[in-house]
Structures are given as C-alpha cells and as structure tokens.
C-alpha cells in the first residue's frame, strides 16, 4: 500500500458513526478491499454507480459482522479488510444493477497483494462522497 497520510486530505472523513447506525461498505472484489464506509444507504448506492467506470463495487452492511466493534473499522484502515463469507455473497448475479445490500458475517484481513496507490483511489471516492453530501 502507500505511506501517504490520508488524514491530511481535505475531504477525508473518518467514517465513524454512532452505535446502532447501519454502516455500508463499498467493497471492491478485484482488490478484495473495502474502499469506503458510509452511513447513508442512498449515497452508497449513488457512489456505486458514479464510481462504476473505475470499480465494480458491491455494497455490504459491515456493522453486522460479529467482530466489527472489535476491529475499529474506519475509512483510514478499511482497505486492509475483507470478509469471510464473500464466496457465498459474490456471484455473477450480483452485478452493477443489483440493489440488494447484503450483510456480512465476519471481517478478515484482505488477501490483496496488488500494488495499487490506494490513497489515490480512496481520495477519489472521498471527493465524490463530499460532492454528493454538498448536493444534499
């Protein structure tokens, strides 16, 4: 991964939400990472489509994972995480137009070994989210 301090990015937000809030993760299966965490289902769906030329994103409820509160998942570290039941949830039928938001069972470390500039990818997603939020 990269060593850039993402916290210094003007549009960075932690993605930490009050207990009991539904938290949606934008999951990128090629990189096997969560790109961004959001508490707004509509924004998550809109970002999925806005970012579709670049990523094949899937939306999952990450707060349903049994170990979610133990990990302290946020937008600074979510790219280090994947989930255990992805073989059950990822399918050919789960494509761009699939609006089902599925729940994950347990978070696990990513298997990603690709050399991506993940900070640049996250900055793009964070900027797009910032614009959506301003438009509301």
Per residue in 11-58, pLDDT (tens digit) is: 999 999 999 999 999 999 889 999 999 999 999 999 999 998 888 899
The pLDDT value recorded for residue 3 is 44
Mean pLDDT of the chain: 87
| Average pLDDT score over residue span 56-61 | 91
Nearest-angstrom CA–CA distance, 136 and 128: 13
User: At residue 75, does pLDDT exceed 50?
Assistant: yes
The pLDDT value recorded for residue 89 is 63
Q: Where is pLDDT greater, at 71 or 136?
A: 71
The pLDDT value recorded for residue 30 is 85
Contact criterion met (CB below 8 Å) for 30 and 1: no
In terms of DSSP bridges, do strands 107-109 and 33-38 run parallel, antiparallel, or are they unpaired? unpaired
User: At residue 98, does pLDDT exceed 90?
Assistant: no
């Amino acid at each position: 991964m990269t060593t850039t301090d993402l916290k210094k990015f003007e549009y960075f937000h932690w993605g930490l939400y009050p207990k009991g809030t539904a938290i949606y993760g934008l999951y990128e299966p090629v990189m096997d990472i969560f790109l961004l965490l959001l508490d707004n289902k509509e924004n998550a769906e809109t970002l999925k489509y806005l970012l579709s030329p670049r990523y094949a994103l899937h939306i999952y409820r990450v707060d349903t994972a049994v170990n979610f509160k133990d990990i302290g998942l946020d937008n600074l570290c979510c790219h280090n995480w994947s989930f255990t039941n992805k073989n059950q949830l990822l399918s050919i039928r789960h494509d761009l137009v699939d609006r089902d938001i599925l729940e994950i069972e347990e978070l696990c470390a990513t298997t990603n070994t690709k050399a991506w500039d993940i900070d640049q990818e996250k900055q793009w997603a964070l900027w797009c989210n910032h614009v959506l939020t301003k438009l509301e």
